[in-house]
Structure 1
Amino acid sequence: MPLVTAGVVVLDCAEPEKLAVFYKGLLEAEETDTSANLVEIRAADGLRLAFRRDANATPPSWPRPENSLQAHLDFLVE
């Protein structure tokens, strides 16, 4: 049976550069790929996140139901 591992988690957002800066600081990550519409980072533990520009992206509105179908990331802090 083949082993499946996650490659990269891609999050759509209005400003990928700003979101990448936040997560780079949080995860002590390095930028691995950049284009006009995408920034990818890799943390020391190998976690890869990419932030893709979406001109129609709307911020989450939790706990309101509109725009609530968005990603949720949990990080363990030791």
Structure 2
Amino acid sequence: MVKHLAEDKGLAAGSVRNIYDVTAALFAAAVEDRALAVSPCKKIRLPRGADSEVDVPTVEERSSGCAGRWTSAGGPW
């Protein structure tokens, strides 16, 4: 599943990790409820995300308007 999401679907490492976390929690609940003997979510190698820097605007950029790049909410969204 992890390989399919990362390679075939082209999802980012963080998205794959989020999906894995939910799936692992579901299987853990099934084990706790004794619906499964063990979770298949053990020893799964998740893709590593690229370390990227966050582009934070300076005070000057924020106050100058930045030609619509940054909204009043504080980000490019």
Judging by fraction of residues, say which structure has more strand: 1
Judging by fraction of residues, say which structure has more helix: 2
TM-score (normalizing by structure 2): 0.27
Larger RCO, structure (CA 8 Å, separation 6 or more): 1
